[in-house]
Amino acid sequence: MPKQQQPLPVPAGFRPVEDGRIREVVGLGLGDLLPGLVIEHRPARTVTEAEHVQVLALMGNEAPVHSDIEYCRRTGHQQVLVCGMLTLNIVLGMTVRSTSGMTAGNLALDAVSWTAPVHVGDTLSARSTVLSARRSDSRPDQGIVTCQVDGFNQRGELVVTGTRTFFVPADPDVVRDATGY
């Protein structure tokens, strides 16, 4: 009689799909995002020259503080500054996989402040702190979560901060099963 194999353990951050096969978990649900929870997002991201120049071109941002090193030197900067919107987008992007990977939509971005300069070559990391989480009155299958989002450079200095409010599934497994996530 053949020996029956024990099911393989499912590592944290994954869910079983079928015997011996697992799928990464993307996005947390309302019950996971409890006020006070702090999430450190990884991997960190190094800002490249290519993305800096591309974002300036896409936005039509012609401010010399972002593109003219001689202007920067004459105004007290040794390097051009990375556009604040790129900094914000990199930091927010790092938070999506865990906090809002299955969002039905963003609701607000508030009280954004840039607190230190960012330069090409800086490496950014992000941290989310859940401030509030509740079931939506108008969409009972969704939760509304507000997080404080903080971005840091490689020296641990805060470079951008703000709050973000978004929908998450009240029951993430229903959405995962329906969408194959």
| First CA to last CA distance, the chain | 37
Element (DSSP H or E) covering residue 46: strand 38-46
Residue 90 phi, psi dihedral angles, 5° rounding = -65, -45
Structure tokens that stand for 6 in this block: 């024990």
| CA 114 – CA 157 distance, rounded (Å) | 11
Q: Give, as one character, the DSSP assignment of residue 72.
A: H
Structure tokens that stand for 7 in this block: 């099911």
- Domain 28-47+87-179 is found in CATH 3.30.470.10: no
pLDDT tens column, 55-86: 999 999 999 999 999 999 999 999 999 999 99
Give the largest Cα separation in the chain, rounded. Answer: 83
For position 58, what pLDDT does the model report?
94
* Across 124-135, average pLDDT: 98
For position 1, what pLDDT does the model report?
61
Q: Residues of the chain with pLDDT > 90: what percent?
A: 84
